[in-house]
């Protein structure tokens, strides 16, 4: 039961093919076959059905563990090596679209760029998963992520990272201007909207799963899916009545086709957090964190 057997198992399951996994991992097909056989022999369970290659029930269960394990091993490696690595002349910050919009991060990075001209600053806008994963794996020095939560509650992140809260703003329901509720009282309870049509836009807005968890209400079923990261597109979908979505009011002020109605109950905030592994002293990453966190 070795770690890199898990890695090839995960790769085979993801790619759905022994040969493809072998190519990705720089192995022979035969080697991959042997590794899977060894793993199945150790556990005395069939993990994959062949032709087509897909995980069995036991394999699926193992995947649920293996993916976080491998992520954490990469994080451990990145964390430890970062402690000794020379302070790089490079700073990569990954952030979700809303984290960028709701924090002073991009402005602070611009400031840092002028103050340290020799520093190579890179910004990566990505989904929440990508931000957490690339920060944990050390592909980014810092991450900025967002989500909804009760006031002062930290976000629940999957990856093993330190986190500090940066900002909290109220959340609002984005409605088409001609929606019946748009002219209603300026604040609204979410419980009345659990049965409405919602847009699931996990890369931009809070996920509906997070919404259910934060409110404790089932419902919030998706009528429309949007996998992109563009806020404008999301507004247009909302304006055209494809469903509701939850965004900070300040983002909607310049959008004439939609109205933002603040959520009164339950008490929720849209929260931005800075996440990071080890921050070596005197590193650009530590400088940025110090600039942005107070």
Partner DNA sequence: GGACATTACGTGTTACGTAAAAATG
Partner DNA sequence: CATTTTTACGTAACACGTAATGTCC
Q: Which residue has the tokens 């794996």?
A: 137
Q: Are 160 and 68 in contact (CB under 8 A)?
A: no
Q: Shortest approach of DNA to residue 283 CB, angstroms?
A: 30
Q: Choose which of 50, 65, 221, 267 interacts with a second copy (CB under 8 A).
A: 65
**Distance of closest approach, residue 53 Cβ to a second copy, in angstroms:** 18
CB closer to a second copy out of 54 and 120:
54
Tell me which of 37, 76, 89, 223 binds a second copy, using CB under 8 A: 76
CB 261 within 8 A of CB 182: yes
Contact 112, 89 (CB under 8 A): no
Q: Which of residues 142-181 bind DNA (CB under 7 A)?
A: none
- Tell me the site size for a second copy, rule CB under 8 A: 30
Task: Figure out which of the listed residues 3, 30, 77, 85 binds DNA, where binding follows CB under 7 A.
Answer: 30
Q: Which stretch binds a second copy (CB under 8 A): 26-34, 60-68, 137-145, 246-254?
A: 60-68
Under the binding rule (CB under 8 A), the answer on residue 149 touching a second copy is: no
* CA of residue 218 relative to chain centroid, distance: 22
Pair 139, 255: CB distance under 8 Å: no
**d(Cα 23, Cα 14) in Å, to the nearest integer?**
13
Of 119, 123, 9, the residue nearest 58 (C-alpha) = 9
> In this chain, which of 29, 56, 108, 262 binds DNA, going by CB under 7 A?
29
Q: Which of residues 24-43 bind a second copy (CB under 8 A)?
A: 43
Q: Work out what residue 1 binds among a second copy, DNA, none; the CB cut-off runs from 5 to 8 Å by kind.
A: a second copy
For a second copy, which residue of 34, 37, 57, 113 counts as binding (CB under 8 A)?
57
In angstroms, how far is CA 24 from the centroid of its own chain? 25
Q: Which does 227 bind (CB under 5 to 8 A by kind): DNA, a second copy, none?
A: none
Specify the 3-state DSSP secondary structure of 255.
coil
**Residue 214 corresponds to which tokens in the numbers above?**
């934060």
CA distance 113 to 136: 24
Q: Which does 114 bind (CB under 5 to 8 A by kind): a second copy, DNA, none?
A: none
Decide if 229 contacts 99 (C-beta within 8 A).
no
Residue 26 interacting partner from DNA, a second copy, none (CB closer than 5 to 8 Å by kind): DNA
Question: Which residues lie closer than 8 Å to 236 by C-beta, 6 or more apart?
Answer: 257
Return the number of the residue (34 or 81) whose C-beta is nearest DNA. Answer: 34
Instruction: Tell me whether residue 59 or residue 243 sits nearer to a second copy (CB atom).
Output: 59
> Within a 10 A sphere around the Cβ of 136, how many other Cβ atoms?
25
Residues 265-292 as b/e (b if ≥16 CB within 10 A, e otherwise) read eeebbbbbbbbbbbbbeebbbbbbbeeb
Give the residue, chosen from 3, 14, 50, 209, that forms a contact with DNA under the rule CB under 7 A: 50
Contact footprint for a second copy (CB under 8 A): 1-4, 43-45, 57-58, 61-62, 65-66, 68-69, 72-73, 75-77, 79-81, 83-84, 150, 152, 160, 216, 278
Contact footprint for DNA (CB under 7 A): 2, 4, 17-19, 26-31, 33-38, 50-51, 53
């Amino acid at each position: 039961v070795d770690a890199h057997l898990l890695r090839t198992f995960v790769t085979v399951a993801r790619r759905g093919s022994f040969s493809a996994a072998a190519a990705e991992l720089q192995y022979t097909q035969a080697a991959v076959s042997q590794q899977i056989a060894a793993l199945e022999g150790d556990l005395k369970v069939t993990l994959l059905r062949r032709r087509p290659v897909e995980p069995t029930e036991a394999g699926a269960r193992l995947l649920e563990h293996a993916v976080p394990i491998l992520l954490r091993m990469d994080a451990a490696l990145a964390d430890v090596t970062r402690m000794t690595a020379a302070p790089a002349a490079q700073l990569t910050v990954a952030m979700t679209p809303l984290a960028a919009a709701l924090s002073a991060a991009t402005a602070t990075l611009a400031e840092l760029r002028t103050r340290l001209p020799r520093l190579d600053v890179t910004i990566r806008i990505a989904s929440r998963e990508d931000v957490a994963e690339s920060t944990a794996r050390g592909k980014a020095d810092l991450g900025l992520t967002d989500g909804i939560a009760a006031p002062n509650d930290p976000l629940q992140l999957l990856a093993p990272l330190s986190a500090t809260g940066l900002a909290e703003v109220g959340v609002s329901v984005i409605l088409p201007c001609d929606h019946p509720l748009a002219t209603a009282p300026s604040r609204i309870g979410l419980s009345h909207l659990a049965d409405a049509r919602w847009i699931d836009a996990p890369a931009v807005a809070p996920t509906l799963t997070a919404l259910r968890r934060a409110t404790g209400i089932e419902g919030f079923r998706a009528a429309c899916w949007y996998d992109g990261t563009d806020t404008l597109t999301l507004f247009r979908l909302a304006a055209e009545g494809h469903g509701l979505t939850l965004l900070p009011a300040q983002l909607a002020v310049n959008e004439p086709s939609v109205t933002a109605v603040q959520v009164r109950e339950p008490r929720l905030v849209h929260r931005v957090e800075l996440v990071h592994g080890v921050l070596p002293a005197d590193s650009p990453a530590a400088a940025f964190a110090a600039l942005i966190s107070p």
